[in-house]
Amino acid sequence: MELADLLRRLDLHTFIAFDFVQDFPIVAHNLPFDLAFLSNLKQTHLEGDVENEGYDTVPLAQALLFFLPNHQKKQEYLVTV
């Protein structure tokens, strides 16, 4: 695939992504990551910033699944036989 074809395809995917999202709220797990990605995509290929209302599900998961290990921290488990 040539660079021009790749850029045209990326522009089409960008258009499709924002045509799908429109002005609806964005619900994501770790919303800052997704907003950074979408903002970069929109600023690079379209105009303006992502101004959609957003909801992050991380606090909800932390509140409801508090008993599960946090995968951001390396945890070592002692196994005895």
**How confident is the model over 4-37, as pLDDT tens digits?**
665 666 666 676 677 777 888 999 999 999 888 8
Instruction: Express each pLDDT in 28-73 by its tens digit.
Output: 999 999 888 888 887 877 777 888 899 999 998 888 888 877 766 5
Query: What percent of the chain is helix, strand and coil (3-state, nearest 5)?
Result: 50, 5, 40
pTM, two decimals, is: 0.59
The Cα 81–Cα 77 span in angstroms is 13
Inter-residue contact 53 to 21 (CB < 8 Å): no
